[in-house]
Structure 1
């Protein structure tokens, strides 16, 4: 169950909640917005494929736990450049980890490079989202899950969001490799992480464009 699929059912994009380290949860005020009984809506949602549980909070919001959070990667792709709604808050230099702009741009560069290296190393095959389970992959997924709700917001906060996603991706890049090392054979897990990196690339490019920047492929 992806954010897009949930959004169609709920009538508005769901918002990810928590760290997703152990459970991937979205929260939604859909029942209140539609003036429905939250318990009844929760009961309908529980029987849908891909949903583990639906809980009703005291404020009437629904907490929706999904079985395979990695499925959201499949619905993220390149989008037309959004109208530039602001000016980039980042300087070009210094090109060090102390500069959030460098962190974001370098994350995009890394995600682009992963696609190229994956092709050279023969990483391919069917995308299996259920393999994206380690803590670093789930942190990336948690950030990616925000993109739909941010797109629909009057104040999407692209700069802060891009920084958050970039930091999560750098951790995953270094600790949960998308590419085989040495004599290691390409695996289905590598394929899943390469696909995740592509989603990161596309979302960061969208955020940079919204801030009036071209997404770099090299630094």
Structure 2
């Protein structure tokens, strides 16, 4: 169950909560907003494929746990047109180009995009491919990236999406994943299904960072 599909069922995007280290948790006020009995709504959700658990909080909010959080990357693709103001202006970038060091959040974001692009290029050269198995994105670093990717639907419809701060968080999580959860084989290692899953995760990061940068008036760099 992806956040987009879950949002269609609920009538509004679900809100990811927690770290996702143990469970991929969303919270939703959908039942209250629609004037429904939260227990009845929870019962309907429990019967849907891809739902691991549904709990009703005091006050009527729903806690929804999805079984395979990695599925969400399948609904992240091409970059939508950048957000514009009432005057038609794209939001301005908050970052400077220099210095190109880890102390500059703009560099951190741009470098994360360039790394995610490079992973696609290197994966093709090394023969990493095959069917995408989202259930293999279960490592700590993988889940941290997925947790942030799960926010993109809500940010797209928000009046104040906070693209800059979001891009910084996603970039940092992706750098950790790049270093700690390899998407590419090393040495004599053969390409594997976990590699292919992480290459697909990198592609989702690439697309979301490009979207965020476009909303901030920047063209996402392929190389730095």
Same fold (TM over 0.5): yes
1:86 Cα deviation from its structure 2 partner = 1.4
Question: Secondary structure at the residue paired with 1:5?
Answer: helix
Question: Secondary structure at the residue paired with 1:49?
Answer: coil
**Residue 97 (structure 1) aligned with residue 97 (structure 2):** no
CA deviations over 1:157-206 (Å, ceiling 9, x no partner) = 00000001000000000000000000000000000000000000000000
Equivalent position to 2:188, from 183, 189, 194 = 183
Q: How does 1:51-62 map to 2 (within 5 A)?
A: 51-62=51-62
**Residue 170 (structure 1) aligned with residue 156 (structure 2):** no
1:112 Cα deviation from its structure 2 partner = 0.2
C-alpha distance in structure 1 between counterparts of 2:2 and 2:83, whole Å: 26
Moved over 4 A (4+): none
**Residue 160 (structure 1) aligned with residue 165 (structure 2):** yes
C-alpha distance in structure 2 between counterparts of 1:218 and 1:197, whole Å: 15
CA deviations over 1:17-74 (Å, ceiling 9, x no partner) = 0000010001111001100010110011011111011011112110000000000011
Corresponding residue for 2:223? 218
Q: How does 1:1-219 map to 2 (within 5 A)?
A: 1-84=1-84, 85-219=90-224
C-alpha distance in structure 2 between counterparts of 1:163 and 1:133, whole Å: 23
**RMSD, aligned α-carbons:** 0.7
Corresponding residue for 2:87? none
C-alpha distance in structure 2 between counterparts of 1:45 and 1:125, whole Å: 32
C-alpha distance in structure 1 between counterparts of 2:107 and 2:78, whole Å: 22
Runs (5+) with no aligned partner, structure 1: none
C-alpha distance in structure 2 between counterparts of 1:9 and 1:186, whole Å: 37
C-alpha distance in structure 1 between counterparts of 2:60 and 2:91, whole Å: 35
CA deviations over 1:81-139 (Å, ceiling 9, x no partner) = 31354111101011000000000000000000000000000000000000000000000
**TM-score (structure 2 length as normaliser):** 0.96
1:80 Cα deviation from its structure 2 partner = 3.0
C-alpha distance in structure 1 between counterparts of 2:72 and 2:83, whole Å: 24
Say how many residue pairs are matched: 219
Question: Secondary structure at the residue paired with 1:4?
Answer: helix
